[in-house]
Amino acid sequence: MYFVYLLQSEKDHQYYIGQTQDLSIRLEQHNAGTVRSTRHRTPFRLVGHETHPTRAEARWREYTLKRSAHQRKKFIEKLTHIPG
């Protein structure tokens, strides 16, 4: 199983979308500063994730989210929505 995840920087409150097979290890890597694209914005918190059966599907979903502002906005809204 693979995950497409949403992180939020506790430093500047910006979001980051990525994909991985192991969420806990990947979050540790982001917070340790070993991920080049996010090391200047640590620490991060995991906002939420989607699951996908294959890496190809997770990579495609990540690609579409990063390419389409509309899809990205819907994804962020879905994962940050607090029912009430």
Residue-level pLDDT at 82: 66
Query: Do 20 and 59 touch, CB atoms closer than 8 A?
Result: no
Number of H helices, E strands in the chain: 3, 3
Over range 21-43, report the average pLDDT: 96
Q: For the whole model, what pTM was predicted? A: 0.92
- Per-residue pLDDT of 45-64, as tens digits, reads 999 999 999 999 999 999 99
Give burial (CB, 10 Å; 0-12/13-18/19+) of 12.
exposed
**Domain at 2-80, CATH homologous superfamily:** GIY-YIG endonuclease (3.40.1440.10)
**Is the preceding omega at residue 83 within 30 degrees of 0, hence cis?**
no
